[in-house]
Structure 1
Amino acid sequence: MKAVILAGGFGTRLRERITEVPKPMAPIAGRPFLEYLLDTLNKHKVSEVILATGYMANKISDHFSNQYKDIKLSYAVEEKPLGTGGAILYAIDHLSVKNDEPILVLNGDTFLKTDFTEFYSWYKDNEIDLGLVLREVENISRYGSVKLNGDKIIGFQEKGPSGSGLINGGIYILQKKLFSSFKVGESFSFEEDILQKIYTKFRTCGYISDGFFLDIGTPQDFDKAQTELPQAILTSKKS
């Protein structure tokens, strides 16, 4: 398997906690957050990762260089902001992949414990065009929610309403050829320009995970991550 990690965000909401590194490099219990993501991918035999970087890109490449454990690393550095969709497409263009080869895509500021091997098999076995990892949470107001019929996605609800529900966990599996079906420019949003449209035209399905979930996007969650993320990793190693 090959993967793209979106690691180019500015991390504006975390400025009161971190200023010297980009958000994906935020120190969690003495280690960059990205290392936790890469450890999980390495465990599931992901062989190559493209890091889609932008803001403070050199902080990431200087730390990791071109190898992390068994994973070959390379970088797609945005010279200007491309949005999440533009960053994914730009990164995929740097991968030596066929047009119909499945690629994992992860947000670089979110951790959701997922069996990527099983996720990949589920995608292939069910002939899915786009697969999303979903997570049930008690309060969807910060994230918005995803509506399912069976495992087929039938809608997305914007942020705002509270209550429990399924949210987008920030992990996808897709093929490069998918983008050719949409009229997008160089810079575009994956969430608004692809996700909000694709489920009406293509087989778009949700894979539900009940694994540990954490988004480090706010100071409060960054503080929680210092103890909760290492503990979750330790617990999973024992189980």
Structure 2
Amino acid sequence: MKAVILAGGYGTRLSEETDLVPKPLVEIGGRPILWHVMKLYAAANITDFVICAGYKASMIKHYFASYFLEINDIEIRTATREINYLTPKSLDDWTVKIIDTGLDTMTGGRIKRVAPYLDGTFCLTYGDGVADLDIAKVIEFHRSHGRLATVTTVPSPGRFGILDMGSNDAVLRFHEKPDAEMGWINGGFFVLEPSVVDYIEADETIWERQPLERLAADGQLMAYRHSGFWKAMDTLRDRRDLEELWANGSAPWRL
């Protein structure tokens, strides 16, 4: 199974960092937030990634291209251009496709652009959010209900979109960022069938609007409730909070 990661946005609310690097490469504990997200999937034995890049896509490509180089001490022989790794550390056994899905493409459009690289049920998430979530259990839940889409939901902090859910956890309605409402929100970890791409029209389609709203209306969107730790790195304050948790050795998502 593949994990698709949306990593192409401008990250304007974190401009203190994203003027220099794309948001997924902003570091927590010396590692990009993107790496932390990928570790969550690797814990569920999902190691085949499709990264939907856009803003500063070349920097994400360079990070993975030089991944082994960065984590080891090295000796370089300039005359022969030979590089010896002095402290060879074991690497994560990942396959990483980095696809430039366009600078201004919306989230739905990015998913549609990478559809040729998908060959079955797949996971989808954002490159800036972590949780103490058991991805394997979300996949098991998805397979149990037979619908096209599963969204992991988390308790609303009061500033995100709301999902109306029935007694059997079927999503009855999905509505984004309403005023003065509380409830369960899109936690950003999805399990999807390939045909959800048919709900996406073009580059301008925002995944969190028409596609999810239509899937809910068609009875094809189910919710996996997660009441544990969850945090999206939207602002500099969010980054500092995550950094503090990691530095203190108390990061709930740490594996």
* TM-score normalised by L of structure 2: 0.82
Does the 8 A contact of 2:10 with 2:18 survive in 1? no
1:102-154 per-residue CA deviation (whole Å, 9 max, x = no partner) reads 110001111122211111111112112110000013x32x2121111021001
Inter-CA distance 19–133: structure 2 relative to 1 (3 Å threshold) = same
Q: What are the residue-to-residue correspondences of 1:45-124 with 2, within 5 Å?
A: 45-65=45-65, 69-95=92-118, 97=119, 101-124=120-143
2:194 corresponds to which letter in structure 1?
K
Provide structure 1 residue ranges, at least 5 long, that are not aligned to the other structure: none
Aligned to 1:9: 9
Could you say what secondary structure the match of 1:118 adopts?
helix
In the alignment, is the contact (CA less than 8 A) between 2:175 and 2:209 conserved in 1?
A: no
Give the distance between the partners of 1:13 and 1:74, measured in 2 at CA. Answer: 27
Partner Cα distance (1:201, 1:7) in 2: 28
**What displacement does 1:198 show?**
1.4
Q: Is the 8 A contact 1:114 1:211 kept in 2?
A: yes
Aligned partners of 1:136 and 1:192: how far apart in 2? 19
AA at the equivalent of 2:223: G
Task: Name the amino acid aligned to 1:61.
Answer: K
What's the offset of the Cα at 1:24? 0.8
Instruction: Give the Cα separation in 2 of the matches to 1:121 and 1:132.
Output: 13
Kindly indicate whether residue 148 of structure 2 is the aligned counterpart of residue 129 of structure 1. Answer: yes
Q: Is the 8 A contact 1:133 1:170 kept in 2?
A: yes
In the alignment, which of 189, 204, 207 is matched to residue 206 of structure 2?
Answer: 189
Contact 2:7 2:54 in 1 (8 A): yes
Q: Is the 8 A contact 2:175 2:213 kept in 1?
A: no
Alignment RMSD: 2.1
Distance 1:162 1:66, change over 3 A: farther
1:19 aligns with 2:19: yes
Match of 2:38? Answer: 38
The amino acid that maps onto 1:221 is D
Q: 2:177 aligns with which of 141, 148, 159?
A: 159
1:18 Cα deviation (Å)? Answer: 4.0
Percent identity over the alignment?
24
CA-CA distance at 1:86 after TM superposition: 0.8
Residue pair 2:12, 2:18 contacting (<8 A) in 1 also? no
Answer whether contact 1:66 1:72 (CA < 8 A) is retained.
no
CA deviation after TM superposition for structure 1 residue 3, in Å: 0.7
Give the 3 Å change call, closer, same or farther, for CA 79–234 of structure 1 in structure 2.
closer
Name 1:211's counterpart in structure 2.
228
Q: Distance in 2 between matches of 1:42 and 1:131?
A: 19
Alignment partner, residue 194 of structure 2: 176
Structure 2 unaligned runs (5+)? 68-90
**Distance across 1 between alignment mates of 2:143 and 2:178:** 34
Shift of the 8–86 alpha-carbon distance from structure 1 to 2, 3 Å rule, reads same
Contact kept? 2:172, 2:219, Cα under 8 Å:
no
Alpha-carbon contact 2:9-2:54 (below 8 Å) kept: yes
